[in-house]
Amino acid sequence: MPWCRPDEARQWVATRWISLAVGLVPLFCVFFTPRILELSFFSRALRLSIAIVACIGVYLPLCGSSRSAVVALAFSGFATTAWYLLGNPFGIDNMYVAAIAPALVFALDRVLPGGRPGAARVSEG
């Protein structure tokens, strides 16, 4: 824009064409490289585990600690990746692993000895 200084109508037309190009170019990449679509579903599973940890942290803050959140992210990342690399054994999609792994870590942190039920405790003494 600084070079040609278009009016609003031309900016609108240029924005529409650029949006169209940005939307269509990735589709051509997906059609010619089928593994990209598979990797897209894998990355969606990883984002799901991040979203679950964030939701638990916001809506159920008494469920875990910062330690359990980090462990949940790391464990779900490793578990989801391993499940994906194994080819989704038993026909179970890696999305289910990504959804269950963080919840499992938070539950274990809550019930195992040394776990922190509720907010982080201040050490006594």
Confidence grade of residue 56 (pLDDT, cut at 50, 70, 90)? confident
Q: Please say if the pLDDT value at position 77 is more than 80.
A: yes
116 part of a folded domain: no
Confidence grade of residue 2 (pLDDT, cut at 50, 70, 90)? low
120 part of a folded domain: no
Provide the domain count of the chain. Answer: 2
Do 83 and 58 fall into the same domain?
Answer: yes
pLDDT by residue (tens digit) across 80-90? 889 988 888 99
Do 42 and 89 fall into the same domain?
Answer: yes
- DSSP summary character for residue 112: S
**Nearest one of 44, 94, 53, 45 to 73, comparing CA atoms:** 53
Note the pLDDT of residue 122: 42
**Nearest one of 100, 3, 86 to 45, comparing CA atoms:** 100
Give the C-alpha separation, 9 to 15, whole Å: 10
Q: Please say if the pLDDT value at position 118 is more than 70.
A: no
124 part of a folded domain: no
Do 64 and 93 fall into the same domain?
Answer: yes
Q: Which domain holds residue 92?
A: 34-111
Do 106 and 56 fall into the same domain?
Answer: yes
Do 7 and 42 fall into the same domain?
Answer: no
Note the pLDDT of residue 96: 92
Do 39 and 86 fall into the same domain?
Answer: yes
Q: Greater confidence, 68 or 113?
A: 68
Give the C-alpha separation, 114 to 35, whole Å: 43
